[in-house]
Structure 1
């Protein structure tokens, strides 16, 4: 899952990036609301964690702008504003969840897992193509009803391809789902992940369009 963290408290943001990355999430951090609005409109993002007390514009205005652009992108508000009125305002404007500071990291992780399951379920009730099936709740892969070991990044890569079955995904678009902006990515990284995946999947399941990208054909 690709997370956009919008938080102006640098110390808190750094701690969250470290924790969420350790949990297998891809995290990009911004301090300003207008930057977040621009990124949501131009970069692939799976969920936004949004502080309300931002230095340039109010977080609720950021939420309003996000909802004007898309109704599907999950937004979790993470803020020191803990009054009932603040929570009602955030939820009424379209936030999917609201967590007040201070908070326990375990609770944040649990809420992210809920949002992730809900998002995957709303997009695809079951990701299955032929004999290949992904369990989006448990990060599991089975081929011909046999469980297959798969890493978190391999799962994320295969999930993107299966969700977009019939469409070619470029190497750059796949990299954005697996790595944050500040991570150095070797030129052949996606090719290596694809190579490992192909060993676990039926022959020809992932096809290469040279110079373009990769595609999984629908069943």
Structure 2
């Protein structure tokens, strides 16, 4: 699942991105509305999280422009504006949900997944999509974040699963060690720089034999490649 987060608070963007990417949701952050709208038009995501107080335009104006452009992506408004009038106006313009700040990350994730399911349609309906494209038999279920190999779920601890999901988002491409550390240890502010190496070591032992290899690139990070 791919998510746009339009929010000018860099710390909040980082917190949400780290938490969600660990749960198998890719987050693309935007600090301003106009670049977000441009990208939205070119590559629509599964869900948009939208703050209303943006530096270059009001979030409601961004939402109105998106709906006028026939962009139907589900939108959750996240804002400190908590009045009933703001909520009604946002929903009337085209928002699908509204969550006032501060919010709980687990509740936000549940709302994101529910909206994504509804927009795709129920399982088995035309256009439904509940999984990522497979790589060497591995795929990530978009709703649960579980990783499967040839249709069978892999038994992975949370940190190993988070690392594998992050690598499966860009198979065959190097992912920086710093980025992986932020995803795998999103809930640990005191993590050691080399902690992700331990997780990578454990993940190697759990990968299906003869399917994929987890390669260490000195000074760059890690990548997944097909086994020789």
Same fold, judged at TM 0.5 (above): yes
1:78 and 2:78 are equivalent in the alignment: yes
Following the alignment from structure 1 to structure 2, what is the Cα–Cα distance between the partners of residues 17 and 147? Answer: 28
Kindly tell me the number of residue pairs found equivalent between the two proteins. 168
1:125/1:104 CA distance change after superposition, 3 Å: closer
1:21 and 2:16 are equivalent in the alignment: no
Q: What is the Cα deviation at residue 43 of structure 1?
A: 2.2
Q: Is the 8 A contact 2:41 2:71 kept in 1?
A: no
Following the alignment from structure 1 to structure 2, what is the Cα–Cα distance between the partners of residues 95 and 29? Answer: 19
Task: Map residues 94-173 of structure 1 onto 2, 5 A cutoff.
Answer: 94-121=94-121, 123-124=127-128, 137-138=143-144, 147-149=152-154, 152=165
Q: Is the 8 A contact 2:87 2:98 kept in 1?
A: yes
Following the alignment from structure 2 to structure 1, what is the Cα–Cα distance between the partners of residues 2 and 43? Answer: 10
Q: What is the Cα deviation at residue 110 of structure 1?
A: 1.3
Task: Map residues 2-81 of structure 1 onto 2, 5 A cutoff.
Answer: 2-81=2-81
Following the alignment from structure 2 to structure 1, what is the Cα–Cα distance between the partners of residues 54 and 9? Answer: 9
TM-score normalised over the length of structure 2: 0.58
Q: Secondary structure at the match of 1:70?
A: coil
Q: Secondary structure at the match of 1:81?
A: coil
CA displacement, residues 139-198 of structure 1 (integer Å, 9 cap, x when unaligned) = 67697xx745496579989xxxxxxxxxxxxx9xxx9xxx9xxx79xxxxxxxxxxx8xx
Q: Is the 8 A contact 2:52 2:60 kept in 1?
A: yes
Q: Is the 8 A contact 1:60 1:90 kept in 2?
A: yes
Q: What is the Cα deviation at residue 119 of structure 1?
A: 2.1
Structure 1 runs not aligned, ≥5 long: 128-133, 158-170, 185-195, 200-219
CA displacement, residues 51-74 of structure 1 (integer Å, 9 cap, x when unaligned) = 000011100000011111234211
Q: Is the 8 A contact 2:77 2:99 kept in 1?
A: yes
Q: What is the Cα deviation at residue 109 of structure 1?
A: 1.1
* Segment drifting more, 112-121 vs 56-65: 112-121
TM-score normalised over the length of structure 1: 0.61
Q: What is the Cα deviation at residue 20 of structure 1?
A: 1.3
Q: What is the Cα deviation at residue 136 of structure 1?
A: 5.8
